[in-house]
Structure 1
Amino acid sequence: MSSPPSALDDGQELSTQGKSFNLTDIIMTNHVKIFDTTLRDGEQAPGFSMTSGQKLKMAKALEGLGVDIMEAGFAAASPGDFEAIKTIATEVKDSIVCSLARCNEGDIRASGEAIKPAAKSGRGGRIHTFIATSPLHREFKLKMSMDEIVRRATAGIELARQYTDDVEFSCEDAIRTERDYLKRVVEAAIKAGATTINIPDTVGYTTPEEIQSLFEFLASDIEGADSVTFSAHCHDDLGLAVANSLAAVRGGARQVECALNGIGERAGNCALEEVAMALRTRKDFFGLSTQLKTEGLYGASKLLATITGNPVPRNKAIVGKNAFAHESGIHQHGVLANRETYEIMKPEDVGVSTDNLVLGKHSGRAALKNRAETLGFELGDNQLQSLFVKFKHLADEKKEVFDADIEALILGEAVGEIGPWALESLYVSAGSDDGKRPVATVRLHHEDGRKETWSQEAAGPVNATFLAISHITGQPLHLDSFSVQSVTEGEDAMAEASVMVSTEFSSYHGRGTSTDTVLAGARAYLDVINRIERRADRQKSIAAQH
């Protein structure tokens, strides 16, 4: 790929081989759209489900990052997904809101209705419709002929165009589709009115060289290629999602479909933060850019991890805890001399603060708000007031409150939707005396005014606490996993507990924080129960409306 053009003033022209190009056109050509599917492909993966309120919080964070398009869900999948997309389409102002739909009338009409608030706002919404094209899918899943698939694709796009001019079409399993047939389907889609053509590596099978060649073929051999945006959607089954997405961009793709923290079906999707920082850090090589505000990546990543209960691995690129940490003596010496010896990005570029200011019980609201803003969080007055009360309680328990403590409090506020149950008190006894078993006494308060207390014996204090909460709430759950990690260091460190539980039909995760590990676990377990009861209430409400 050729080197990027030199910097020019807006409107200035440059001449290449006798042709003049306006700078605005060059910028548009060199702009890679970020299509975020955290709320659809990411959220539908096992263990990553979100409530409607949590999806809206993530949508606002993605909007703050500056993603061009956010795929908010699959409108036809459930009434809950439909309502979540509709709410996001109403609330989000700066990103295009998209709904996924199969190439059938029911799906497309549901998506069209869900994105209507975005269309009414003037910024428009997108319908992303798809049908499989590979021989395997044609024969075993769809049981359709090549001609029938083309007809379905064309009809689906034409119906979607009745709701919006912004229609994206995907050839599911495109990588394993014959090139001549892929060409036929894509050309039919363009003629039907699709404005974006997505070429997904649905099963994470391709390689960088292969996908780059495919996109070069599409850009040069497809009739109407100059009227659409080509998009890449790569899965990480072979650990190549980011590499394949970047290769597709080199081949002519100008939209990348990705998800925060790389979440998604099976091994996940192309990681938004990785592809964005690769394009930014190696702009000398790619000559391309995005409109992302990368300083918000770390905060958005932490929010997603907190909402889903799935922590980011320490060694995760860009947003992992070790991404900018140096323990080796040789590395530390080099970084002290010049950070560029071992760091190709500045921590601040992705929102990682290097100034770990310590706050204490004498710190005021202004200092707390300033620190939160430095960490990438904007707090409203009500949120700041609620956070300040919790901060003061924590400051009384700890000598010093560090950035990680403040993050934990803020993220707890973000995740903690109001639930019917609240923990009033917890007392546990534990030890190794013969004949004595740990006991937990739990007191809960319900929003209807009830107060319930129960004492429970068990093999351990955490187990006793969970059983007591289950008894009071009437929610017998199967505990799949329980983990606790320290948020900060020291004897008075904040503990972050995560639980995964399951019922006969669903699995849920919860999160809680405290300087007491058992209390953190109790809050996480109660968070799960509140999620279950909130979901049941929403389903009753939706059923009543229909």
Structure 2
Amino acid sequence: MSDRLYIFDTTLRDGEQSPGCSMNIEEKLRIAHALAALGVDVIEAGFPVASPDDFTAVNRIAAEVPNAMIAGLARAHPKDIDGVAEAIKPAGDRGRIHTFIATSPIHMEAKLRMSPDEVVERAVAAVKQARNLVANVEFSAEDAGRSDDDFLCRIVEKVIDAGASVINIPDTVGYMTPDEFGRKIKLLRERVPNADQAIFSVHCHNDLGLAVANSLAAVENGARQVECTINGLGERAGNAALEEIVMILKTRADRYNIDTGIDTTKIVQTSKLVSQITGMPIQANKAIVGANAFAHESGIHQDGVLKHKKTYEIMTPESVGWNTNRMVLGKHSGRAALKARYVELGVTLDDEQLVAVFERFKALADKKKDIFDEDLQAILNEDAEINTEHVKLVALHVASGTKDAPVAAVKLDIDGEIFEATAKGDGPVDAAFKAIKSLVEPNGKLLLYSVNAITAGTDAQGEVTVRLQDGERIVNAQGSDTDIVVASAKALIAALNKLPNMHAREVHAQYSGV
């Protein structure tokens, strides 16, 4: 019989801490539902004491997302632990308090300004408090990678005695190499007297590009929970990528013989959802989920694959959720066919959702001949923003040429009232953005503008990602259309809709932003 590895996903907590990856509550819920469908064992839903919104997000995920265990992060402080307990209460016996304190000399001395004895005392008190509130408690020794082995053994033994059932050993700064990290996990499991009473977990950062390798070294030495994120999101260079961990174990079952419980066919769609919500594009050569992951250009490779796919493909595209067949849906297709295709893609639509999505599908089918699965995913994600729109694009006209400055004329519906404006810009997109931002308040500072083609061909939809900052708030949004200027306008408007206190400026019916 194969062994079992528990997958702890921290996309909604550590992943969201990536600069510019802040998500609103509804977006977090969408990702949490996708993670549960993917089959992750534990969803770290957030850091409840960080903000009221974070508390609400964790609380709603605990109440609305089934199957997975729901965890909240807490420093080793009574207020933090009480906050997590309250936030995860709707999850019942599926709730977990994840408490942590730093254990490396540099962290204890420079950050905590505490002695080793004080750190042990604080950790034990935190675990005991948490264990009195919930049945499942995880303890993390922050910066365990650079912690003294003897001290680490001491604190791990104490917190297990205090009631921790999961012990997390993080390589918080991505400093360790696989052989070092593997030895550390082995040492703890051998030297800590009560090690058999807890599951050992690892949380590896990717500062030196070793997060996945270090995680696997830990698994080889007895760790049975891996903390990871979709697309490897996370602080600085990110975390171990869930899709890579899972597919290594599946592809190399001959070596590991360990199951994860993940439905690997849902990996790509989950990856795309996270990318679209966070505004973090997936690099083309990213393992498993990158656009080129199963692409072959070399004549030698193409010849080999045509003769036998396994000559150059160690896993099938379908096994992770790529669909190599072209969509045959078009403008003559009906609701039933569209709904059936979404079911094949792992998406269930109710009647109301189907009506809205079908309308957008028909509009796209009138613009381009071939509809691909990627187009359907873009339609679905764009449709998810409908109910939160305060600003809607009614019309956009742009004139540009080689000699004349581009001019954009835009008509917006802002909370039911129509506003119009024109503006010149350095290019058609710049002109459109200036016209739109002349009509709404606040403007928001543009931090990122990126364009990707969703599919191939000159009639492909362009997907635009926009990142705006308004004070301390950073939001991401996407827009897609066969016209890249329209896609850009949609993305900007979607981002503006996410900013607080959105309303129309006091402007004349016509505004000339020149």
Give the shorter-chain TM-score range.
over 0.9
CA distance in structure 2 between the partners assigned to 1:399 and 1:388 by the alignment: 16
> Match for 1:128 among 81, 84, 98?
98
Shift of 1:382: 2.1
CA distance in structure 1 between the partners assigned to 2:502 and 2:94 by the alignment: 30
Asked if the contact 2:463/2:479 (under 8 Å) is kept, the reply is yes
Shift of 1:491: 2.4
Matches within 5 A, 1:111-510: 111-119=84-92, 123-414=93-384, 418-433=388-403, 436-447=404-415, 449-510=416-477
Structure 1 range deviating more: 69-78 or 280-289: 280-289
Change (3 A) 1:416 1:196: farther
Asked if the contact 1:307/1:415 (under 8 Å) is kept, the reply is no
Structure 1 range deviating more: 191-200 or 463-472: 463-472
Q: Does 1:88 find its partner at 2:61?
A: yes
Shift of 1:415: 5.2
**Percent of aligned pairs sharing the same letter:** 50
CA distance in structure 2 between the partners assigned to 1:457 and 1:182 by the alignment: 62
CA distance in structure 1 between the partners assigned to 2:125 and 2:90 by the alignment: 24
CA distance in structure 2 between the partners assigned to 1:518 and 1:378 by the alignment: 31
- 1:211-250 CA-to-partner distances (Å, cap 9, x unmatched) read 1111111111111111100001000000000010000001
Partner of 2:4: 31
State the Cα RMSD in Å: 1.5
Change (3 A) 1:251 1:138: same
SS of corresponding position for 2:29? helix
SS of corresponding position for 2:145? helix
CA distance in structure 1 between the partners assigned to 2:122 and 2:386 by the alignment: 44
2:20 maps to amino acid:
G
> Match for 1:102 among 61, 72, 75?
75
CA distance in structure 2 between the partners assigned to 1:199 and 1:425 by the alignment: 54
Shift of 1:60: 0.0
Asked if the contact 2:85/2:134 (under 8 Å) is kept, the reply is yes
Q: What count of residue pairs does the alignment treat as equivalent?
A: 503
Structure 2 unaligned spans of 5+: 504-514
1:154 maps to amino acid:
V
Shift of 1:406: 1.6
- 1:482-520 CA-to-partner distances (Å, cap 9, x unmatched) read 222221222221111112232343333221001111110
Q: Does 1:72 find its partner at 2:45?
A: yes
CA distance in structure 1 between the partners assigned to 2:141 and 2:381 by the alignment: 38
Structure 1 unaligned spans of 5+: 6-26, 537-546
CA distance in structure 1 between the partners assigned to 2:76 and 2:502 by the alignment: 29
Shift of 1:417: 5.1
CA distance in structure 2 between the partners assigned to 1:356 and 1:400 by the alignment: 8
CA distance in structure 2 between the partners assigned to 1:397 and 1:54 by the alignment: 29
CA distance in structure 2 between the partners assigned to 1:287 and 1:82 by the alignment: 38
1:64 maps to amino acid:
A
- 1:395-422 CA-to-partner distances (Å, cap 9, x unmatched) read 1111222222222212222455522111
- 1:372-409 CA-to-partner distances (Å, cap 9, x unmatched) read 23333332322222111111111111122222222221
SS of corresponding position for 1:249? helix
SS of corresponding position for 2:284? coil
- 1:337-395 CA-to-partner distances (Å, cap 9, x unmatched) read 11111111111111111222222111111221222233333323222221111111111
SS of corresponding position for 1:39? coil
1:401 maps to amino acid:
I
CA distance in structure 2 between the partners assigned to 1:34 and 1:416 by the alignment: 33
Shift of 1:314: 0.6
> Match for 1:518 among 471, 480, 485?
485
2:206 maps to amino acid:
D
CA distance in structure 2 between the partners assigned to 1:327 and 1:388 by the alignment: 36
Structure 1 range deviating more: 369-378 or 283-292: 369-378
CA distance in structure 2 between the partners assigned to 1:469 and 1:475 by the alignment: 11
